[in-house]
Amino acid sequence: MILVVLDPEELQEALELAQQRNAKPAHTNKKFDAEHGDEEIHYMSALAEVAWSKQTGWPVDTSVQYGDGGVDFRNNGRTYQIKARDVARYSAPDLLCRKKYVKADRFILAEVNLQEPDLIRFVGWCTKDELLLEIKDIRGKGERYIRWRHDLREIPRELI
């Protein structure tokens, strides 16, 4: 597991990125996550993306759009999707992805707690092929591909 601590400027960067994404005309994610509104979902994702950028040195995609279509980062011919999950709600979250967003080569699970937004934990990663091995029906939210947290790979230096 990798812990990244965001400083106040990085927290502000994530907040502004989330606000830009929130300002776009939006389809709603309410069915996807009834407990969190779009604003919180965008903020958790932006926090994780800024933290990954800090860890790797890869630039954050700051183009204003509603969502990224399934790819957050591109590096060395590979694409990466950071999947942020709320640890205040799920003490040990697994990596979940809606079918239409399984576009990246690599998926990375980030734990975010909005009560402590400066502390982002990267739990592990999997390939697209590994993610596609199992589907779970999430009650009221439909089917999601899932990679159980205990099946995730450790994040090696060469991935970063």
CA separation for the pair 159, 144 (Å, rounded): 25
CA separation for the pair 123, 2 (Å, rounded): 7
Residue-wise pLDDT tens digits, 65-117: 655 578 899 999 999 999 999 988 877 889 999 888 899 999 999 999 999 99
Q: What is the DSSP letter of 147?
A: E
Residue-wise pLDDT tens digits, 13-53: 999 998 888 876 654 444 444 445 578 888 999 999 999 99
Please state the pTM of the whole predicted model. 0.86
pLDDT at 29: 45
The two three-digit tokens of residue 133, written as one number: 């091995």
Domain limits, the chain? 2-151
Q: Out of 75-79, 81-85, 124-128, 138-142, which region has the weakest mean confidence (pLDDT)?
A: 138-142
Q: Is the pLDDT of residue 160 over 70?
A: no
CA separation for the pair 119, 124 (Å, rounded): 16
Check if the beta carbon of residue 79 is closer than 8 Å to that of residue 48.
no
Q: Which residues does residue 120 pair with via DSSP β-bridges, in sequence order?
A: 4
Residue type, 113: N
> Could you count the other beta carbons within 10 Å of the beta carbon of residue 138?
14
Residue type, 130: E
128 or 27, higher pLDDT:
128
| Gyration radius from the chain CA atoms | 15
